């Protein structure tokens, strides 16, 4: 395999809900295991996935999400009630635990350990007042051109 040029995957992670945080991390860590050079560019809400204060507390909201499993059938509007987001998040976290999946912080660590490059979007940091020390160690602060320089040579490019 070494004589071939390494395959590349470029991912943009733009969402900060629990359900949307897993796919970029699962794909990136798997790609790294398959010796694919991988970069994730975190932008907008996606920054929460690498925000040390937030990444262990990502949530998922039942409201406006008819696909969310419910123990009893109920109208989606019930999701507006106080506590429903916390309840939905707890349910999903239990489901995740039930299949022995790592937590978001553990998955971020796995990505870093296996050489996945994690890029943090500078305008999002400016906009939300985030500092480098708020982010997971090992994250690189970068702009769109840096990401595109990598993505232009990528075999797979995903926007999540």
Q: Please report, as ranges, the residues that interact with another protein according to CB under 8 A.
A: 1-2, 7, 26, 29-30, 32-36, 99-102, 110, 114
Of 85, 83, 48, the residue nearest 65 (C-alpha): 85
Of 122, 145, 148, the residue nearest 135 (C-alpha): 122
Task: Tell the smallest beta-carbon distance from residue 114 to another protein (Å).
Answer: 7
Task: Tell the smallest beta-carbon distance from residue 134 to another protein (Å).
Answer: 27
Task: Tell the smallest beta-carbon distance from residue 33 to another protein (Å).
Answer: 4
Of 34 and 152, nearer to another protein (C-beta) is: 34
**Rounded distance between C-alpha atoms, residue 134 and residue 125, angstroms:** 10
Q: What does DSSP assign to residue 8?
A: E
Task: Tell the smallest beta-carbon distance from residue 82 to another protein (Å).
Answer: 33
β-strands 117-121, 37-42: how paired? parallel
**Rounded distance between C-alpha atoms, residue 30 and residue 48, angstroms:** 21
Of 2 and 94, nearer to another protein (C-beta) is: 2
Of 35 and 153, nearer to another protein (C-beta) is: 35
**Rounded distance between C-alpha atoms, residue 81 and residue 22, angstroms:** 26
Of 44 and 101, nearer to another protein (C-beta) is: 101
Of 33 and 74, nearer to another protein (C-beta) is: 33
3-state DSSP call for residue 87? helix
């Amino acid at each position: 395999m070494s004589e071939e040029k390494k395959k590349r995957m470029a991912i943009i992670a733009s969402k900060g809900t629990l359900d949307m945080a897993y796919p970029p991390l699962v794909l990136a860590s798997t790609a790294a295991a398959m010796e694919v050079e991988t970069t994730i560019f975190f932008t907008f809400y996606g920054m929460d996935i690498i925000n040390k204060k937030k990444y262990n507390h990502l949530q998922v909201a039942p409201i406006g999400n008819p696909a969310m499993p419910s123990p009893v059938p109920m109208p989606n509007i019930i999701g507006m009630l106080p506590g429903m987001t916390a309840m939905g998040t707890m349910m999903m976290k239990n489901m995740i635990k039930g299949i022995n999946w790592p937590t978001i912080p553990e998955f971020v660590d796995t990505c870093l350990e296996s050489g996945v490059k994690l890029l943090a979007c500078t305008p999002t940091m400016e906009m939300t007042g985030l500092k480098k020390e708020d982010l997971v160690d090992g994250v690189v602060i970068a702009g769109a051109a840096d990401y595109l320089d990598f993505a232009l040579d990528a075999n797979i490019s995903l926007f999540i």
